[in-house]
Amino acid sequence: MKSGQVILPTSSRWGVFMLSFVVMFIFTGICTGVLENLGLTERTRVLTLSVIQGILAFTMPTLLTWMLTSRDPASEIGLRQHVSSRYWIWIIALYLLAYPGMCQTVFWNEHMDFPASMSGLEQTLRKWETAGADTTDAILSVQSVWGLIVNILIVGLFTGCVEEMFFRAGLQNLMVRSGIRPVAAVWIAAFIFSAVHMQFFGFLPRLLLGAMFGYVYYRTGSLPASALLHGLNNSVVVFTTWLSAHGIINNDIDSFFINESGFPWIFLISLAATAAFLYLTGRNSRMFKEKT
């Protein structure tokens, strides 16, 4: 992705992004039909489709948009921005401080109850949730080390990278370049990121994760920074699920930080620590005074 001549005007960016997404989404649908007729196991079919979807529907729209409307697409995407060691420490610390609070949010969202008048809607949403969980179980329920490695590479790292390419380097980036305030762009992109997963009882924690990834992307200007954080989060889930299946740990790592009843001390401590950390390491902090 080298600097070159702009092929299309910057005013066409949204059109290129949306049109290319629709076209690539159609191609992905065609590939889905082909894969269903090849007699593959469910796990192989889903993993293969994940790779195809990641390349076509998530990566290509962003690449095409910036390659056609920018002289330096790699910079626009955030592939040239150097991230110093201090920023990497900041990213990991942010994730660790926020993680316990995220776990509690997952629990609350999963156990959300609808009013009696909306019981039909709740049952429908939970059926969708169960179907998604069954697919996830088919992917993650592997016993071999090789299966674990494949899952980390595809479900963990690859998925994290391509989703960041679309939602942060594409959607969020385009909104900021269109004049939308960065904070609003971060949350709008995070909302769409969570919504497209079609899991209502996981919507809130995924929204917060998306906002964290978006903030890291905005703060560092680096796609690898948010992509690796996203990949790390996915890989933690993959790895702990594998450990649990082998009886190495008794429960998912998420359950270590959950208060099922009583006052949510861990959640509040995590929330306060994360907020204080973000405030103390704000853009004007001496910690990041030098340009990176």
pLDDT of residue 118: 84
Reading the chain (292 residues) residue by residue, the pLDDT tens digits are 555 677 889 889 999 999 999 999 999 999 999 998 888 888 889 899 999 999 999 999 999 999 999 989 999 999 998 888 999 999 999 999 999 999 999 999 988 888 888 888 888 888 878 777 777 877 887 888 999 999 999 999 999 999 999 999 999 999 999 999 999 999 999 999 999 988 888 899 999 999 999 999 999 999 999 999 999 999 998 998 888 887 777 666 667 788 887 788 999 999 999 999 998 888 666 555 544 3
CA distance 228 to 236: 12
pLDDT of residue 292: 39
Tokens at 100, concatenated: 């316990």
- 46 contacts 138 by C-beta, under 8 angstroms: yes
Residue 32's region, left for phi above 0, alpha for psi from -120 to 50, else beta, is: alpha
Token look-up 């009882």 returns 201
- In single-letter form, the type of residue at position 215 comes to Y
pTM of the model as a whole: 0.90
Show the DSSP H helices in 82-118 as ranges.
85-110
- In single-letter form, the type of residue at position 189 comes to A
Show the DSSP H helices in the chain as ranges.
13-36, 42-53, 60-69, 73-77, 85-110, 119-140, 145-151, 159-166, 173-177, 182-195, 203-220, 223-245, 265-280
- 200 contacts 105 by C-beta, under 8 angstroms: no
